[in-house]
Amino acid sequence: MFLQRTLRRSSTVKGIGLHTGKPCQLTFRPAPTDIGVHLIKNIDGVSKSVRVYASHVKATTNATTIGNSEFSISTVEHCLSTLAALRIDNAFIEIEGPELPILDGSSLPFFQAIHEAGVIEQDQPRKYIYIKEPIKVEDGDKSAIVYPYNGLRINCTIDFQHPCIGRQSIDIDINEVSFAREIVGARTFGFLRDVEKLRSMGLALGGSFDNVVVLDNDKVLNDGGLRFPDEFVRHKVLDALGDIVTLGAPMMGHLVLFKAGHDLLNRLVRKILQLPDSTIPFEMAEPNYMGDQDRLPWQMI
């Protein structure tokens, strides 16, 4: 059976914030079983904590922000996607600064930091959010749907009126190997035409070619170009994987996204959590990551 996991030891990552441009630092620390993922910040000499959970999502514009009445932290999705892919259930994330560091714009530095720290199994089984029937949210032509599925699978489609993007789709079973090969290095992206507007709003102050894929009207401006031909849709999968960590437990389901961003994902997560009896212990059903021939609907066993 799958047991809960946490970090073997602490690991620190330093950088600047994408939106504030200010120095930021986080330290991953081990946590006990059944506690989940908590963001921790020192405020006036006292450590304050907020759990990564849907009801604590305070904003979804240009990034996901989690907080409470005492503090909030933005741009959490790249870090959280790594915890999800590496099956880390319990962790303390100590933060210095107003947001998490953007680093290279992907999840790769967080992934490397956690591998350096190591991961250990704990003495309690994982509990999953078990999708028993299709659940859907829509906003105009945008949609996010989750179906019953034996594991975690994400099908994502984006559609941008830009010659370097257009319509891109990816369909991937998420596990440690597929995430490391296909998703972890996909960087966030933005358009040169939006920079002035964002900065007038106090956003993207730390953005640069070092941490964002930047596009003008017809091309990618970064030296070296893209890491993947479809890096844009891969990054959207990375973001979505981070956003569903706010369920508070790993999900078993097939997530189908069409032009969906942070807001729609947060609405879907909240809708899932409204359903009764959606969390089951691992012993009652096991996820299968073998491949297409093994994709079966969930049945209670």
In words, the CATH class of domain 128-290 is alpha beta
How much is the pLDDT for 294? 33
pLDDT band at 10 (very low <50, low <70, confident <90, very high): very high
pLDDT of 277 reads: 62
The region that residue 277 occupies, defined by phi over 0 for left and psi between -120 and 50 for alpha, beta otherwise, is left
Per residue, what are the HEC states of 229-287? CCHHHHHHHHHHHHHHHHHCCCEEEEEEEECCCHHHHHHHHHHHHCCCCCEEEHHHCCC
Q: Residue 19 pLDDT > 50, yes or no?
A: yes
Mean pLDDT (whole number) for 92-101: 94
Read off the pTM. Answer: 0.90
Pairing outcome for strands 23-30 and 11-16: antiparallel
In the chain, CATH 3.30.1700.10 sits at 128-290
pLDDT in tens, 226-280: 999 999 999 999 999 999 999 999 999 999 999 999 999 999 999 999 886 655 5
* 8 Å CB contact between 126 and 88: no
State the pLDDT confidence band at 196, using cuts at 50, 70 and 90: confident
Percent of the chain with pLDDT over 70: 91
pLDDT of the residue at 162: 96
3-126: which CATH topology?
Ribosomal Protein S5; domain 2 (3.30.230)
Q: How confident is the model at residue 194 (pLDDT cuts 50, 70, 90)?
A: confident
**Residues pairing with 190 in the sheet:** 214
List, by residue number, the catalytic residues: 262
- CATH 3.30.230.20 in the chain, residue ranges: 3-126
Residue type, 48: K
Both tokens assigned to 285: 């059903």
SS3 content of the chain, % helix, strand, coil (to 5): 25, 35, 40
Q: Which residues contact 301 (CB under 8 A, 6 or more apart)?
A: 284, 285
